[in-house]
Amino acid sequence: MTNTIDLHVHTTASDGLYTPADVVALAREVKLRVIAISDHDTVEGIAEAVEAARGTELEVIPAIKISTELDGTEYHILGYYLDYTRPDLAAELADSCAARLERGKKMLARLRELGMPLSWDRVLELAGDGALGRPHIARALEEAGYVESSQEAFDRYLGYDKPAYVSRVKMTPYQAIEMIRGAGGVAVLAHPWGLPPIIPELVAGGLQGLEVYYPKYGPEVIGYLCQWVRRYGLVSTGGSDFHGLALLPDNPLGGVHVPESCVEKLRQQRDQGQAHA
């Protein structure tokens, strides 16, 4: 079954391995028609991707993926079609970027205590202009020879409840939803399978959609999530969560089939929100 849509794509603006322009080139190679640049807690990669796709058959949807936390559980909220040029959005995201840097320093301090010192400057180099995250530290650990792969770094040191893991101050999912909708976007809960049963509360807080199509989601999971979509009149989205195969080998760009109706309904939800703004 040919797939032409991927609504969950990361670039070097956060923790992906490909620049936004390179992602656009790769998307065209695999004959995608629509992609969403949805970097973690930043919109810095969107303009480059939009410009790279200008004059081509590829649509780039401006998006974001915001890390949030509630009652000790992490929730990722995707925002689609948001106005990424708004100054107030940039200001809110700057606070998140600062929190990421502080968290990174604390994780390096823990790794140093574990006998694995890393160069802070090298971690910053790996992050480049993007929002610093655990994948950059994982790559630094691999480079230094402490682990054989980024996955091993997460499994042994950087994953939740592992010895070098440090939580950071995050907004709640309700705050993320408010921020996305305030920027004219459509708020969607990312990879919801396995999370606590909070969908009704999030819908009451303004959630507009669920990520139904995601790597390793089989027919039963998709069917279950579609029931929630129908029950609450939500939009469904999906994508590969592409970061680059060297980082996530099981998540190729365009590797998850996403029905074209998802984009149509996303646009409808965007237009309804703008009409009531």
CB 37 within 8 A of CB 9: yes
Record: fold of 99-158: DNA polymerase; domain 1 (1.10.150)
Taking only Cα atoms into account, the Rg of the chain, rounded to an integer number of angstroms, comes to: 18
Mean model confidence pLDDT for the chain: 92
Q: According to CATH, where is 3.20.20.140 located in the chain?
A: 5-92+169-275
Six-digit token pair at 104? 């990174």
Of the two residues 176 and 273, the one the predictor is more confident about is 176
Q: 10 Å Cβ neighbour count for 123?
A: 21
Q: For the stretch 24-34, what's the b/e string if a residue is b when 16 or more beta carbons lie within 10 angstroms of its beta carbon?
A: bebbbeeebbb
The pLDDT assigned to 95 comes to: 77
pLDDT in tens, 118-148: 999 999 988 877 778 888 899 999 999 999 9
Question: Domain 5-92+169-275 adopts which CATH fold?
Answer: TIM Barrel (3.20.20)
| Contact residues for 252 (Cβ-Cβ < 8 A; gap 6+) | 240, 242, 245
**pLDDT tens digit sequence for 144-174:** 999 998 889 999 999 888 999 987 767 899 9
* Higher-pLDDT residue of 160, 11: 11
- pLDDT tens-digit readout, 181-226: 999 999 999 999 999 999 999 999 999 999 999 999 999 999 999 9
pLDDT at site 274: 66
Torsion on CA atoms 216, 166, 154, 19, rounded to nearest 10: 70
Parallel/antiparallel/unpaired status of strands 59-70 and 73-80 = antiparallel
CA dist 223 and 110 (Å) reads 42
Q: Who wins on pLDDT, 63 or 74?
A: 63
Q: How many CA atoms lie within 13 A of 253 on its CB side?
A: 26
Beta bridge partners of 34: 5, 59
As annotated, the residues of the chain forming the CATH 1.10.150.650 domain(s) are 99-158
